Amino acid sequence: MRDAVTITRALLQGVTVTYIGKAFSADGVRLDFTPRRENVPILTAAMGEQALRLCGEIADGVIISNLVPTAFTRRAVAIIREAATRANRRAPREVVQYVPGAVCADGAEARRIAKRSVAAMLTAYAQTASAATRAAMSEHGRPEDFARAMSRLTRGDAPEDAIDDRLLAEYAVAGTPDECLAQAERYAEAGVTELAIAPIGERPADDIARLGDAIT
């Protein structure tokens, strides 16, 4: 990641780059266009401690994976800020986190929709995600409830039975528009500056509209 950020930042500054790194190198490379703005922010996707520390040392922000409790986010932000301080630089400003969302006039219906989607994603992530992402999902927030829910899902229990509302709130924003806005505040308190809500209902445009109306 250090090589990629170093090369990319130099390219975006409009210079010719010659760089020899451990993973990536460049030999006399230059963009064939002039970037429309100077100092384009570079955000890195990071989950493990080493990657989070490196983000604090060289990046302008971090992107945190889907399905991660705010307890992990708070810890990740602290690691990034500590690394930035040690590197004698300002802490990265941007903390972007992805989260699935279901917004309905009927809060119970929104949570039912979210539980089905979250159950499918958690099951898939448990098999395919990186070790760091799996740890972030399972070891933060409500780890005992998470373990019980995954066991029930593995046995074939319905998502609505395996995942209770409190556990759902660790992995999704779901409910009425006002409930969703209140849940989004938890992410802001954990240090998130941009919450990327991915609608998971059958009519995602309607979910976006409901949330937008509540904001305005």
Per residue in 56-97, pLDDT (tens digit) is 999 999 999 889 999 999 999 999 999 999 999 999 999 999
Tokens representing 128 are: 């395919």
A 10 A CB-CB count for 216 gives 5
For the segment 175-201, the average pLDDT, to the nearest whole number, is 95
pLDDT at 150 over 80: yes
- Band (pLDDT 50/70/90 cuts) for residue 37 is confident
3-state secondary structure of 63: strand
Query: Is the pLDDT assigned to residue 38 strictly greater than 80?
Result: no
Q: Is the pLDDT of residue 108 over 80?
A: yes
Residue 206: per-residue pLDDT = 92
Taking CA 104 as the corner, what is the angle to CA 198 and CA 187, rounded to the nearest 5 degrees? 45
Domain 43-215 is found in CATH 3.20.20.30: yes
Identify which has the larger pLDDT, 171 or 36. Answer: 171
Model pLDDT, residue 67: 92
Q: What percent of the chain has pLDDT over 90?
A: 89
Q: Taking residues 128-152, what's their average pLDDT? A: 94
Mean pLDDT score of the chain: 94
> 114: which DSSP letter?
H
What is the C-alpha separation between 96 and 8, in angstroms, rounded?
20
Q: Which residue has the tokens 């790194």?
A: 21
8 Å CB contact between 13 and 38: yes
183 to 8, 31, 57, 78, 176: CA distances (angstroms): 36, 42, 30, 21, 10
Give the domain ranges of the chain: 1-40, 43-215
Q: Is 39 helix (H, G, I), strand (E, B) or coil?
A: coil
- What does pTM read for this prediction? 0.89
Phi and psi at residue 62, in whole multiples of 5°? Answer: -130, 150
Kindly indicate the confidence band of residue 192, based on its pLDDT and cuts at 50, 70 and 90.
Answer: very high
Q: Which residues of 81-113 are buried (b: 16+ CB within 10 A; e: fewer)?
A: eebbeeeeeebbeebebbbbbbbbeebeebbbb
Q: Per-residue pLDDT for 216 more than 80? A: no
Q: Which phi and psi (to 5°) does residue 91 adopt?
A: -65, 140
In angstroms, the CA 171 to CA 101 distance is 9
pLDDT of amino acid 50: 95
